[in-house]
Amino acid sequence: MQSRLLVPAFIALSTLAVPALAQPAPAASAAPAAGQMSPAQITAFNQAVTDFTAGQTAQQAGDNATAVAKYEAALPAIRTAVEVDPSKIDNVNFLANALYADAAAQGALGKMDQVIALYGESLPHWRKLVEAKPADAASRNILAGILIQLGNQKLGAQDKAGSAPLYQEALSLARKSAGENMADPVTKNILLSALIGASQATGDTGLQTEAVAMSKAMLADGTVDASNKPAAQALGGAKAG
């Protein structure tokens, strides 16, 4: 079976409550303490909050070009905030979400190279976020989806060795989410994607059997999404249509 083409299936984000760091900047003569942003960095961060919010508004209205411009304007200051204090999880969350939102807008514009680059940059931040908030199923599912798409990109380039650990990490996350809420169609499709990818990358017969069984079941109950349907039909023995 040939590897699937990379088709990002972005998980919708609700409007992000951005960190409210916007405090009066200290006097310019005061040197910031370790882990604290300078007055100029605080000013830039506050502008980034404004730009990100405008990007979300544009994206929700279907204006992805404007959204990309606003996200790209916001990202440098958000990156700086995380560099200054990597332990501040609210800013890590902000950066992870901003990169993901930018990737969604870039994907809508057909800029797949940008999508992959943004996914790659966001990966350690999503991992940190999921580690810090293990009960946050939404973030866990987004991380799994990103891992799957990065795995698809490598598998599409015939790099099975590179794709396998990405799929395996996604599969572990997807199994946890499925254990909590297997009735959720998004969760089911993430698990199916991870199973299909991991089985293709590793050749593991157990995973292949599981992927076939799940494909048949989801085709039967109509819960397979558009991105998974061709592979599920091939595995489940159904004719594409």
Per-residue pLDDT of the chain (241 residues; tens, 9 = 90+): 444 444 455 665 544 555 555 444 444 444 455 679 999 999 999 999 999 999 999 999 999 999 999 999 999 999 999 999 999 999 999 999 999 999 999 999 999 999 999 999 999 999 999 999 999 999 999 999 999 999 999 999 999 999 999 999 999 999 999 999 989 999 999 999 999 999 999 999 999 999 999 999 999 999 999 989 999 999 887 544 3
Which of 190, 188, 181 has the alpha carbon at shortest distance from 220? 188
pLDDT at 237: 73
pLDDT at 31: 47
pLDDT at 2: 43
pLDDT at 161: 96
User: Could you give the count of Cα atoms lying within 13 Å of 52 in the half-sphere of its Cβ?
Assistant: 27
The dihedral built from the CA positions of residue 5, 11, 12 and 17, taken in this order, carries a sign that is: negative
pLDDT at 34: 62
